Every structure is written in structure tokens, then in C-alpha cells.
Amino acid sequence: MTRPASDELGFTHRFLAADPAIGGRGGRTPPVLLLLHGTGGNEDDLLPLGRTLAPGAALLSPRGKVLEHGMPRFFRRLAEGVFDLPDLIARTHDLAKFIRAAVTHYGLDSERLVAVGFSNGANIGGSLLLLHPGLLRAAILLRAMVPFEPDVLPDLKGTAVFVSAGRTDPIVPPSNSERLAALLREAGADVTLAWQPGGHNLTGPEVEAAGRWLAKHSGAR
């Protein structure tokens, strides 16, 4: 179902309920996936990816509220790779508010909430980890950059993060991916940094690797 931006949750979004007939991998209860699209995407873009990563999982997929030349994003940027930090922080808080409201509205298990973000969506996913520790059980960040470096690191112990980066990504330098992984580790997260031979586009093998990782890290705390 799709909800308009004027509803009580505040974001245009797609919600697909869990399918108990499918269930999780290995007989485990599937996670709740928060799907965060890249620039120019919408609430439908990552639904196929969510179904591939966790068959039977509940899917919550909001559309970013910022428009850049008509393309939806989750926060503003000043240039390629240069973020509008006040806007990023404000939008992250707004997204966290939506997530908490959606968990209550749809009766979701907050202990199984896993963010899956690509590019701009992965960046705000990283910002959620830094600004709202404990909100996410885990996160899969695909082609993410360091959103910002907080003065005081949050406590991310018990949070698992899969960072997938391209060796030849023209948008995200390898050094930035390494710094993101290091920053999250410094905060106490269990981080897997997976390198891909390609650029900014996703590949089948890395989606399979992310699915295997998710099957190991999406259990309740």
C-alpha cells in the first residue's frame, strides 16, 4: 500500500507486510527492511532488492522529500559529494520520526529493523546510525559515503553493518568507504567492508553476499 505525504506518518511510502507463508531464511523469522533509495529513485525502486535479500520480510520504503532537478533525494547537497550538513541532520531526525511512527502504525518488530540503502539512501542510513543509535538492528549500506563525523561517537555496540563499496566507484572514493567502516567500528559496530570490482552500480554477486550476511545478522537482540 502507498500512503500520501499528508498522512499521519509524514512520508510518501510503500509498505508491504511480511508473508508468513514464505518465512525467513533457514526457518528464522524474517527481518523488517527499511528500504532507502538513491537519487532519482522512489518508494518502489528497492522493493525487488528487498524481496531478494529477505523473502517474506516486511518492507517499509519511504520516498525522499528533497527534489534535485526533479529527482527525489533524502537530503540536500551543495555539490557532488558535498552535503548540506544542517539539512542532512534535520532530515535524518525527520526520517527517524517516520520510522518510529511506522513501527507503531504497522505493528512492526523494532528489534528486527534493518536499513538497506543505496547511494543517497545509504548515506542517510549511515546518518541514522550516528544520530539515532539503537533505532536499527543492522544496516546494509551500498555505495555509502561518510555522512559526517560527530564530535562524540554514539554507542553502536550490538549493531551490525555491511558496507559494500566499488573499487572503481567514480562517486565514492575507496578512502571514503574505508573511513566510513573505521568510523562505525570506532563507535562499536560490527562492520563488514565488502569490496566489489566495479563502480557505483550494484552487481548480482554483491546482492547475494549481502543476503548471506543479512541471514546471519538479522536476528532479534
pLDDT of residue 190: 97
CATH architecture of 2-217: 3-Layer(aba) Sandwich (3.40)
Annotated catalytic sites, by residue? 119, 169, 200
* Residue 66: closest CA among 87, 51, 80, 46: 87
**pLDDT one-digit tens code per residue, 71-91:** 999 999 988 888 999 999 999
Cα angle, residue 194 at apex, residues 66 and 199 outer, rounded to 5°? 60
pLDDT at 129 over 60: yes
DSSP state of 148: -
pLDDT interval class at 28 (50, 70, 90): low
Domain positions in the chain: 2-217
CB 55 within 8 A of CB 47: no
Distance CA 39, CA 31 (A): 25
Q: Average pLDDT, stretch 15-44?
A: 84
> How much of the chain exceeds pLDDT 70, in percent?
93
Which residue, among 96, 206, 76, has the nearest Cα to 140 in the 3D structure? 206
- Cα–Cα distance for residue pair 199/187, rounded to 1 Å: 28
Over the stretch 167-184, which tens digit does the pLDDT of each residue have? 999 999 999 999 999 999
- Is the pLDDT at 220 greater than 50? The verdict is no
pLDDT band with cut points at 50, 70 and 90 for residue 26: low
pLDDT at residue 29, rounded to an integer: 75
